[in-house]
Amino acid sequence: QVQLQESGPGLVKPSETLSLTCSVSGGFIKGYYWSWIRQPPGKALEWIGYVYYSGSTNYNPSLKSRVTISVDTSKNQISLKLSSVTAADTAVYYCARLYDSSVDVFDIWGQGTMVTVSS
Amino acid sequence: QSALTQPPSASGSPGQSVTISCTGTIRDIGGYNYVSWYQQHPGKAPKLMIYEVSKRPSGVPDRFSGSKSGNTASLTVSGLQAEDEADYYCSSFAHSNNLLFGGGTKLTVL
C-alpha cells in the first residue's frame, strides 16, 4: 500500500522560502504524476502543481512565479519550494499521487503538514 | 473566491438522498469530462469519491454517484448514513492545463 508523508518546517518567516518534502513508501515514484495541494485553515483546497517522475512540471498560474516542484527518484521523494511567502501562504500542505496517467485525479494523499508563515 | 461554485452547506436525514452541485464554466466543467469529488472529514486528508464525472474508485459505496449537465456537476449521496457527514469538494480540469477546486460543501446528517 503506497503511503505519502510530508515533512518540513512548521514555521516560516515572511519573505522566506517554504520547503517541504514528501516521502513515498510502499511503491515507486516512477510512472506517476505527483502533486502538491494546500488548504488554508477553514478554507478550500487549492492545487499548487504537479511533477512527473521524469521531472516535467505544471503549476497553478496564480502561484507559478513562486513555485518549484521537483522529484528525486533515488530517494523516492517529491519536493516543494514556495518563495517569498506571506501570511496568505499559511495552510496545510498535502502531497498526493495522481491516479493512473491522469493529471486531475488524486487517489492517494499524505496526512498533510501545517505550515504557518509568521515572524 | 474559489473558481468552482458549491453551496456552503447541505443536509439530509439518515436514509434520504442529498445532491451537491458544483458550477463552473465552459472552460472547465463544461469543456471536459474530468470532474472529481473528494470527501474530507475534520482533520483528515481528502478522499477520492468520484472521478471522470461518474466513476467510482474501488471501495467507494455505490450510494455515491456523480453526473454533469452543461457547466454544472453534481454529487448525489443516497441512503445517507452518519459517516457521510463531512466536507465535500469538487474539482475540474480546466483550460491551459489548470486544475480548479470548488469552495466545499459541508454535509450534515440530521
Give percent above pLDDT 70 in chain A. 100
Can you tell me the distance from the alpha carbon of A86 to that of B6, in angstroms, rounded to the nearest whole number? 27
Q: Determine contact: A57 vs chain B, CB below 8 A.
A: no
Å from A89 to nearest chain B CA? Answer: 15
Segment B28-69, tens digit of pLDDT: 999 999 999 999 999 999 999 999 999 999 999 999 999 999
- Give the confidence band of B12 by pLDDT, cuts at 50, 70, 90: very high
Residue by residue, DSSP assigns B29-43 as: GGG-S-EEEEEE-TT
Residue that is written with C-alpha cell 480548479 in the block: B100
* Average pLDDT for B9-25: 97
pLDDT at res. A28: 87
Set of cell numbers at residue A65: 512565479
Q: pLDDT, tens digit, for every residue of A62-80?
A: 999 999 999 999 999 999 9
Contact of B74 with B22, CB cutoff 8 Å: yes
Q: Could you give the dihedral angle defined by the CA atoms of residues B41, A79, A99 and A107, in that order, rounded to the nearest 10 degrees?
A: -10
* Burial of residue A82, with CB atoms counted within 10 A of its CB: 0-12 exposed, 13-18 middle, 19 or more buried: buried
C-beta neighbour count of B28 within 10 angstroms: 24
Residue of B nearest to A93 (CA): B45
Contact between A104 and B92 using a beta-carbon 8 Å cutoff? yes
